[in-house]
A and B are shown apart, each in its own frame.
Chain A
């Protein structure tokens, strides 16, 4: 039995990479991508803006404006690359950390903040964005995504589903069951595992003894490991897997090899369980810096471009902050809203009783 000891900064050999940490473009025999300068600049903009959303949210939590926040720091390329591979008809099922994918699906970031502020458990209409609600229970959404994909199949639609989960989730029964169902029914789905190396305090070795992408072969579908900090590679690999799904070729497992540069959530303190040198090594593989280096080296963008993106990020952050603080608290009786689709006598009774109780304080 071999232990996958590739958690450090050294890239494992089977990694699909199209852009090195130094910003050098490399070719891959199975995956390639032809991006216009405009497309590269657009990806860069996405990466910078979602990092800014994340930074602003962390700051808001620190100031007591959010109850908690799950930072995506370090995972921007995995999320933007895969998110931009989706077409409008594809459906995405996120965990609670997919703020970058939410951005790609045009979900207003203030709605993400609402969930972490405790205003709502959800906040957006999944049908409007083809982006499902965040799921907090680890791995549950993988089965929902497979079921959704089976629906696509039965509709004879040309669409695919993508489901996000982490390295920790791969231990859950639901995730393994979802692999079985997807395989048996040849469902049009892409399993997108962001292996950020840590499940709160537990390193990858607590979940697996083989690289996660290799699990797929045991279930009967292809698996691929991609450099999760390389937005080009994430885009190329996800695009191909989605195409394969849409064309009836069944599921693919993508393991985006990345790193959680921040804490699990704002209530977590990673200094208790991981060494600082690991983070330093991964900082050299930052998903944004390599795109910036590529743009510079190839003279695809000038300083004015980078300045304009910074200015846009500043504005986005300020706007987000303003709208977060202006978010009204829900009314107490909202507790009873949306629980049932049809009238429910018991709930109606409780609502009336609670309304009368509250009125007692106003008298």
Chain B
């Protein structure tokens, strides 16, 4: 066991993947000598060279487009988008090419490209640096979409994403980059398959569904709820596409109440998909409608207002209270 931060765990995971497979490349803006603005790729260029850790020109569409080309040539590019809000220039390549080319080729082409995106708010940043764009990508068939929430998962999931033959949109909770925990780098026995979620806190009264940066918030809320005599079951979804439906539905059938929490806007957010599927599959088990806690239907606000925009312990508990009002 080694104690490491989430960013270090990603770094170690990529290092391991690069050691295991010479076809793995890192691409992005400032990923080389600087080691990325969050230092997630720190030291990798020094150890693997400029041909494998590529500081690209400043163009996100170019990063993804050329990563596709490298993948066509047998490489496994891991692309860093510097901040969530800068993924949109790359959206064309991700949505029209990366997601669709394998099917277009009738399976002759596989695109094992990972797109790493630091996501979410809470760090007092300026505009475009705090967004949660996951729903744009879960809506796009052909992409796998995952979100890590803790160092151990970060270490395992980045390696799983790199090994995966499909394109993976890999969300990293930027405000949790500096959180530390034990990571076992000596064995893979403990790894959870990348497309499975996990119950991170068992409970009986309410199922709380979350991922990425909100897992910690929901665990804190569950702790507070316990002190008020309510037992929350917190599920870290980890994979948004595909969704681990059996895990979610089993929990909901036991608790009968669901609160979904994400930073992204509620309106047309990933929670809407969860609510719909839960309603379809667990209708007779539900004691209350599926409630969602998330951002408002506005652009992400200036940082002086973000504490009001972002779901916090109180907003989660408020939803828990409301689900008991039915």
Q: How far is the CA of A347 from the CA of B301 in the complex (A)?
A: 14
Interface residue SS majority, chain B? loop
Number of A-B residue pairs with CB-CB distance less than 8 Å in the complex they form: 114
Stretch at the interface among B50-58, B67-75, B111-119, B151-159: B50-58
The answer to whether A68 has its CB under 8 Å from any CB of chain B is: yes
Residues of B within 8 A of A339 (CB): 297-299
Residues of A within 8 A of B85 (CB): 136-137
* Partner among B30, B127, B308 whose Cβ is within 8 Å of the Cβ of A200: B30
B126 touches A68 (CB 8 A): yes
* Partner among B55, B89, B318 whose Cβ is within 8 Å of the Cβ of A173: B89
* Partner among B57, B88, B124 whose Cβ is within 8 Å of the Cβ of A67: B124
Residues of B within 8 A of A67 (CB): 124-126, 303
The answer to whether A267 has its CB under 8 Å from any CB of chain B is: yes
The answer to whether B62 has its CB under 8 Å from any CB of chain A is: yes
B58 touches A207 (CB 8 A): yes
The answer to whether A315 has its CB under 8 Å from any CB of chain B is: no
Closest residue on chain A to residue B88 by CB atoms: A137
The answer to whether B103 has its CB under 8 Å from any CB of chain A is: no
The answer to whether B109 has its CB under 8 Å from any CB of chain A is: no
The answer to whether B173 has its CB under 8 Å from any CB of chain A is: no
Query: Nearest-CB distance from B187 to chain A (Å)?
Result: 34
The answer to whether B32 has its CB under 8 Å from any CB of chain A is: yes
Central interface residue in A206, A268, A336, A354, by most chain B CB within 10 Å:
A206
Residues of B within 8 A of A116 (CB): 126
The answer to whether A121 has its CB under 8 Å from any CB of chain B is: yes
Q: Which of B105-163 contact A (CB under 8 A)?
A: 124-129
Chain B, 276-309, contact with A by CB distance < 8 Å: what is the 0/1 string?
0000000000000000000011110111111011
Query: Nearest-CB distance from B131 to chain A (Å)?
Result: 11
Central interface residue in A120, A335, A339, by most chain B CB within 10 Å:
A335
Query: Nearest-CB distance from B63 to chain A (Å)?
Result: 10
Query: Nearest-CB distance from A68 to chain B (Å)?
Result: 6
Residues of B within 8 A of A1 (CB): none
Residues of B within 8 A of A94 (CB): none
The answer to whether B101 has its CB under 8 Å from any CB of chain A is: no
The answer to whether A168 has its CB under 8 Å from any CB of chain B is: yes
- 19 A–B pairs (Cβ distance < 8 Å), ordered by A: A68-B124, A96-B126, A118-B304, A121-B302, A137-B86, A137-B89, A168-B57, A171-B57, A172-B89, A173-B62, A201-B30, A202-B29, A206-B55, A206-B56, A206-B57, A207-B58, A268-B37, A335-B298, A354-B308
